[in-house]
């Protein structure tokens, strides 16, 4: 008994659901490409809507929502089963903006202060232009003065013509060739009168001392002295003035010469500068049979002599 009641309930429910669809009349629908067809809706899904096409035989087709025109979508949206699927594809009409209310009546133009226009008009009415013309006029006269010097012309004449004919006067004198300069011949100077003959006494023989006796020993040269104030004692000074004393084996001409240094620490004489730095030097001093390097800063040196070892 129960299964009969359930069968009739399911059959009645299916008839109620399918009844409205089968009862729908055929309608005309249009696609976005301009084609049209006549049919009735059968099934609605998220991707498409199923139509039963009008004809002698039952033909079904699936049309995607995006292919239907706006008019067809709006017609399908009237169906409560198709509305949730069709509404997302319906274009929202633009909202009309309210017309702008003209507020011209609220604007009030107020007069603003303006500069008075010159009554005479033209360039001469402006004091700035008058000053500019005056400066051009003075420049014209100064140009005439320079042209008169360049062309060797009379300066008052050239400047006067420039004052009467501005710009044109200097151009005229600038176009003419330079006037040759007139050189005045000077009279030859008069010869001075011949001096009277004076008595010239005969020359007196002066006594000449006898020449000194010739030296039989070696000739000792005079020492070369460099003092602070006239010479700057630094590394470049010793490398240029005393390059031969920086060698291990001195030159033949300097083998008997020594470097004598006076400083605040004392006086030292050596045959060779063993080492030289940016701020000091090391002098090789002979002490008996041994030698010793003495470091002497440049700032403490007062005099440097190059002399013979026997002097």
In which region does residue 34 sit, left (phi positive, over 0), alpha (psi from -120 to 50) or beta (all else)?
left
- DSSP state letter for 247: S
Q: What is the mean pLDDT of residues 139-154?
A: 91
Q: What is the mean pLDDT of residues 182-187?
A: 57
Can you read off the two tokens belonging to residue 134?
Answer: 């005056």
One-character DSSP codes across 118-167:
PSS-SGGGSHHHHHHHHHHHHHHHHHHHHHHHHTT--HHHHHHHHHHSTT
Structural fold of domain 224-308: SH3 type barrels. (2.30.30)
Q: In the chain, where does DSSP find H-type helix?
A: 2-23, 70-76, 83-86, 127-150, 155-164, 168-175, 235-241
Q: What is the mean pLDDT of residues 83-105?
A: 72
- Topology agreement, domain 12-89 and domain 224-308: yes
Q: 43-47, 158-162, 218-222, 274-278 — which is least confidently predicted?
A: 218-222
How would you label 45-71 residue by residue, b for 16+ Cβ within 10 Å and e otherwise?
Answer: eeebbebbeeeeeeeeeebebeebbee
Domain residue spans in the chain?
A: 12-89, 126-175, 224-308
Q: Is 2 helix (H, G, I), strand (E, B) or coil?
A: helix
CA–CA distances in Å: residue 304 to residues 77, 220, 239, 253: 118, 18, 14, 19
Q: Is 240 helix (H, G, I), strand (E, B) or coil?
A: helix
In which region does residue 152 sit, left (phi positive, over 0), alpha (psi from -120 to 50) or beta (all else)?
left
CA distance 47 to 66: 9
Q: What is the mean pLDDT of residues 53-60?
A: 79
pLDDT over 70 (residue 192)? no
Q: What is the mean pLDDT of residues 252-268?
A: 82
Q: Is 94 helix (H, G, I), strand (E, B) or coil?
A: coil
Sequence-distant (6+) residues with CB within 8 A of 158 are 144, 145, 147, 148, 169, 170, 173
pLDDT over 80 (residue 300)? yes
Q: Is 188 helix (H, G, I), strand (E, B) or coil?
A: coil
User: Looking at residue 159, what is its pLDDT?
Assistant: 92
Residue 22 binned pLDDT confidence (cut-offs 50, 70, 90): very low
Residue 84 phi, psi dihedral angles, 5° rounding: -60, -25
More confident residue, 62 or 20: 62
User: Looking at residue 207, what is its pLDDT?
Assistant: 46
Which tens digit of pLDDT belongs to each residue from 109-129?
888 888 777 666 666 667 888
Q: Which CATH superfamily is domain 12-89 in?
A: SLA1 homology domain 1 (2.30.30.700)
Q: 62-66, 185-189, 305-309 — which is least confidently predicted?
A: 185-189
CA distance 271 to 294: 12
User: Looking at residue 265, what is its pLDDT?
Assistant: 80
């Amino acid at each position: 008994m129960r299964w009969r009641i359930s069968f009739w309930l399911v059959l009645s429910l299916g008839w109620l659901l399918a009844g409205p669809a089968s009862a729908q009349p055929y309608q005309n629908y249009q696609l976005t490409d301009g084609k049209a067809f006549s049919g009735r809706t059968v099934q609605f899904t998220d991707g498409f809507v199923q139509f039963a096409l009008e004809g002698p035989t039952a033909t079904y087709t699936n049309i995607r929502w995006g292919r239907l025109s706006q008019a067809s979508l709006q017609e399908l949206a009237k169906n409560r089963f198709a509305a949730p699927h069709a509404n997302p594809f319906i274009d929202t009409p633009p909202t009309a903006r309210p017309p702008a209310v003209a507020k011209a009546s609220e604007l009030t133009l107020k007069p603003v202060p303006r500069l008075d226009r010159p009554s005479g008009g033209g360039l001469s009415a402006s004091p700035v232009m008058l000053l500019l013309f005056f400066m051009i006029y003075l420049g014209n006269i100064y140009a005439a003065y320079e042209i008169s010097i360049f062309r060797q012309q009379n300066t008052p004449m050239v400047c006067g013509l420039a004052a009467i004919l501005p710009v044109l006067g200097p151009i005229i004198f600038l176009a003419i060739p330079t006037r040759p300069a007139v050189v005045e011949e000077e009279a030859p100077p008069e010869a001075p009168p011949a001096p009277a003959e004076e008595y010239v006494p005969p020359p007196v023989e002066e006594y000449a001392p006898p020449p000194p006796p010739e030296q039989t020993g070696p000739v000792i040269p005079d020492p070369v002295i460099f003092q602070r104030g006239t010479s700057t004692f630094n590394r470049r000074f010793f490398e240029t003035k005393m390059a031969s004393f920086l060698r291990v084996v001195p030159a033949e001409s300097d083998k008997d010469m020594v470097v004598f240094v006076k400083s605040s620490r004392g006086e030292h004489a050596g045959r060779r500068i063993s080492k030289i730095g940016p701020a000091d030097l090391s002098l090789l001093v002979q002490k008996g049979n041994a030698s010793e390097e003495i470091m002497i800063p440049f700032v403490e040196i007062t005099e440097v002599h190059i002399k013979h070892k026997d002097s």
